[in-house]
């Protein structure tokens, strides 16, 4: 069944169709003798219409070449090419022609339901848009927009209402597909796990400033056996135990690194000493001390001490930005895969529609061949285009399976899962181009730029730390404590005694080659990250410009493609009418059907390219348009 359009159709088709002779009725065919075409009748060809600068349509002289009558064949009959269309029909063939006219011809040229005739559509176009005035060219004219949407609606209208998806088949709207992809896409899950893992590094890095608590308990005993001298060394006894000392010491400490690069600690102990034979036999010692170690030059800066924390935070922010970038990528890939799956279905519909037209053309060609109105060549031509459309359908079926596999992969569902898509997701609504604003938004929002900026900040911190490494080590140490010794525990805990200590530790490696090399490398790395940030911004701008060019190119391609589809359908109407009357071969019919098929497929691809371009543009600017 042929679809029709309600807008632009070439004026030539209207006037040629109006000049075509009507086919004779069966009664007139039986009563009137066959008429042989004469030279005068061949000269009286209709004038070809010419579109002028105004809304009027004028005629230009148009003559067909005069051909000499064909010689008679061996049987004495004039060949078909030299006779009038119906002069060659014998009485036995009239019934075949009548049946063909009553059954095949109505199907061959019947317009779609509710479509206006060709002449009415042409008149409506000329009345509404004389000389193309009154059009809005800000983005796309209303005429082009309406034409593109009508072609798309006609293609989608041929699909039957979608049945509920079986249990083994997913049925997803576009928004549901995006949500499923964000939840189950495997590369996105890997990036999310990497971000979670790096987030734990922040707490681990902060642990270097957590207090460290410890305790110890030691015990020892010493028995000394030797020579004992009595009575002013007059009596010497060998092998005698001369001393027995036992010591028990519990101790505890707490220390903490501070953000200035130093360390502060408090430690204390309580010692009990028992000595046999001594007076007093028991002694207690208590002590606590506060110690401070603070670097003054190398390592004595807050940014040096807190570098592990800053590095962990930078790494996490870079991973978080990468996660956001992957989310935008998955959203764009999901939309693109979803649109491509719809495109594959619609191309199959176009190919099946083309095959239906081919079957009608083959039926008509066979009937006309039996009626000796056309040659066998027309039958072959119809069968050839059917074979071509069958090949197109087979290729479209394969592309549909590939599109379904690509959609399954980006959604994270098992490969081979059949997904029922909603074809109304493909729509065409052009947007005005605002390239400078899009580039500014991309430079402000894109996660890749944020990640590159965080990497640059991290490299600058490395440079500062490396510069600090050129300084000598000058460490300040200080300690203060209280202590007391007593024969009882209470007396030992009075802490009446005190002690303190202070000092400076200086060191410097001669040449300091390692620190200088580290600084040189840090500066080179910082320059590399600066260049990488500039390159990232260039790539982002290039992506935005590429998406804008893709939108503009798809939009410009849609305009002539929609016009070509309408013109091909107008051409098909005229070619079918002329072919039905035996006044022409079916070459124009096959050409028009091929143009319709290719035009509809190319238009669908352009619309899908535009929708994919919108998805890529939204990913490029990291936000809705």
Greater pLDDT, 299 or 226: 299
Q: Which residues pair with 275 in a beta bridge?
A: 245
- What is the per-residue pLDDT across 78-88, written as a single tens digit (0 to 9) for each? 343 334 333 44
Q: Using alpha carbons, select from 141, 130, 109, 118 the residue that is nearest to residue 55.
A: 130
Question: Which long-range contacts link 542-546 to residues 24+ away (Cβ below 8 Å)?
Answer: 543/442, 543/616, 543/620, 544/435, 544/438, 544/439, 544/442, 544/617, 544/620, 544/621, 545/435, 545/439, 546/616
- Output phi, psi for 387, to 5 deg: -65, -40
Contacts of 408 (CB under 8 A, 6+ apart): 414, 415, 416, 417, 419
When pLDDT is cut at 50, 70 and 90, the band that residue 470 belongs to is very high
pLDDT digits (tens, 9 = 90+) for 20-60: 343 444 344 344 444 434 344 333 333 333 333 333 333 33
User: How far, in Å, CA of 586 to CA of 598, rounded?
Assistant: 18
Supply the pLDDT for residue 150. 79
Mean pLDDT of 431-456: 92
Q: How do residues 145-184 score in pLDDT, each as one tens digit?
A: 777 877 777 777 666 555 455 556 778 889 999 999 999 9
Using DSSP's 3-state secondary structure scheme, residue 412 falls into: coil
Mean pLDDT (whole number) for 126-134? 42
Top mean pLDDT of 17-21, 225-229, 349-353 is at: 349-353
Q: Tell whether the model's pLDDT for residue 3 goes beyond 70.
A: no
Separation CA 201–CA 32 (nearest Å): 101
Higher pLDDT, 270 or 593: 270
Contact 573, 17 (CB under 8 A): yes
pTM of the model: 0.69
Q: Which segments within 260-320 are labelled E, that is strand?
A: 263-275, 282-295
Q: What pLDDT score does 217 carry?
A: 95
Which helix (H) or strand (E) segment holds residue 478: the answer is strand 473-486
- Average pLDDT for residues 303-329, to the nearest whole number? 94
pLDDT, tens digit (0-9, with 9 covering 90-100), for 11-24: 333 333 344 343 44
Beta-carbon contacts of 306 under 8 Å, excluding residues fewer than 6 positions away, are 259
* C-alpha torsion 411→416→417→418, nearest 10: 110
CB atoms within 10 A of CB 262: 19
Q: Tell me the sheet residues that pair with 236.
A: 229
What's the pLDDT score for residue 322? Answer: 93
* Radius of gyration for the chain, computed over Cα atoms and rounded to the nearest angstrom: 47
Taking the mean position of all CA atoms in its chain, how far away is CA 395? 25
**Distance between CA 53 and CA 311 in Å, rounded?**
72
């Amino acid at each position: 069944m042929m679809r029709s359009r309600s807008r632009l159709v070439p004026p030539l088709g209207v006037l040629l169709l109006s000049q075509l002779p009507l086919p004779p009725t069966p009664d007139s065919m039986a009563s009137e003798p066959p008429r042989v075409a004469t030279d005068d009748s061949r000269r009286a060809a209709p004038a070809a219409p010419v579109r002028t600068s105004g809304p009027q349509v004028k005629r230009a002289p148009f003559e067909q070449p005069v051909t000499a009558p064909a010689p008679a064949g061996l049987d004495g009959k004039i060949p078909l090419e030299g006779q009038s269309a119906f002069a060659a029909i014998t009485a036995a063939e009239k019934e075949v022609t009548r049946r063909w006219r009553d059954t095949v011809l109505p199907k061959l040229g019947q317009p779609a339901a509710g479509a206006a005739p060709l002449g009415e559509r042409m008149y409506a176009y000329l009345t509404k848009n004389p000389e193309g005035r009154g059009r809005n060219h800000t983005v796309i004219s209303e005429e082009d927009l309406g034409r593109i949407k009508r072609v798309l609606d006609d293609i989608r209208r041929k699909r039957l209402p979608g049945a509920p998806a079986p249990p083994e088949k997913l049925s997803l709207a576009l928004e549901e597909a995006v949500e499923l992809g964000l939840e189950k896409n495997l590369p996105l899950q890997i990036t999310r796990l990497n971000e979670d893992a790096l987030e734990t590094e922040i707490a681990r890095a902060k642990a270097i400033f957590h207090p460290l608590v410890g305790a110890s308990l030691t015990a020892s005993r010493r028995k000394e056996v030797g020579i004992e001298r009595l009575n002013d060394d007059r009596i010497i006894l060998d092998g005698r135990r001369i001393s027995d000392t036992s010591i028990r010491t519990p101790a505890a400490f707490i220390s903490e690194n501070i953000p200035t690069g130093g360390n502060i600690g408090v430690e204390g102990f309580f010692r009990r000493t028992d000595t046999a034979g001594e007076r007093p036999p028991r002694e207690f010692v208590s002590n606590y001390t506060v110690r401070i170690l603070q670097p003054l030059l190398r390592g004595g800066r807050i940014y040096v001490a807190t570098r592990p924390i800053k590095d962990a935070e930078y790494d996490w922010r870079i991973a978080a930005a990468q996660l956001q970038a992957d989310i935008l990528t998955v959203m764009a890939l999901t939309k693109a895969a979803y649109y491509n799956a719809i495109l594959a279905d619609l191309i199959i519909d176009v190919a099946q529609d083309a095959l239906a037209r081919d079957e009608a053309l083959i039926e008509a060609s066979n009937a006309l061949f039996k009626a000796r109105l056309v040659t066998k060549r027309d039958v072959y031509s119809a069968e050839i285009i059917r074979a071509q459309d069958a090949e197109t359908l087979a290729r479209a079926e394969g592309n549909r399976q590939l599109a379904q596999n690509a959609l399954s992969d980006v959604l994270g569902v098992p490969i081979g899962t059949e997904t029922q898509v909603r074809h109304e997701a493909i729509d065409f609504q052009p947007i005005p181009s605002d390239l400078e604003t899009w580039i500014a938004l991309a430079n402000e929002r894109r996660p890749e730029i944020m990640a590159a900026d965080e990497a640059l900040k991290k490299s600058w911190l490395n440079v500062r730390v490396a510069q600090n490494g050129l300084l000598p080590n000058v460490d300040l140490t200080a300690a203060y404590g209280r202590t007391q010794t007593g024969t009882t525990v209470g007396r030992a805990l009075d802490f009446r005694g005190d002690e303190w200590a202070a000092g400076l530790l200086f060191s410097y490696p001669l040449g300091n080659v390692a620190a200088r090399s580290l600084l040189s490398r840090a500066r080179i790395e910082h320059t590399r990250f600066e260049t990488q940030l500039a390159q990232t911004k260039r790539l982002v701008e290039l992506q935005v410009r590429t998406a804008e060019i893709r939108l503009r190119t798809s939009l410009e391609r849609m305009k002539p493609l929609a016009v070509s589809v309408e013109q091909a359908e107008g051409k098909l109407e005229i070619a079918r009418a002329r072919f039905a009357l035996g006044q022409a071969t079916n070459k124009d019919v096959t050409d028009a059907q091929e143009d319709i098929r290719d035009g509809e497929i190319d238009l669908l691809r352009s619309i899908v390219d535009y929708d994919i371009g919108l998805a890529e543009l939204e990913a490029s600017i990291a936000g809705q348009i």
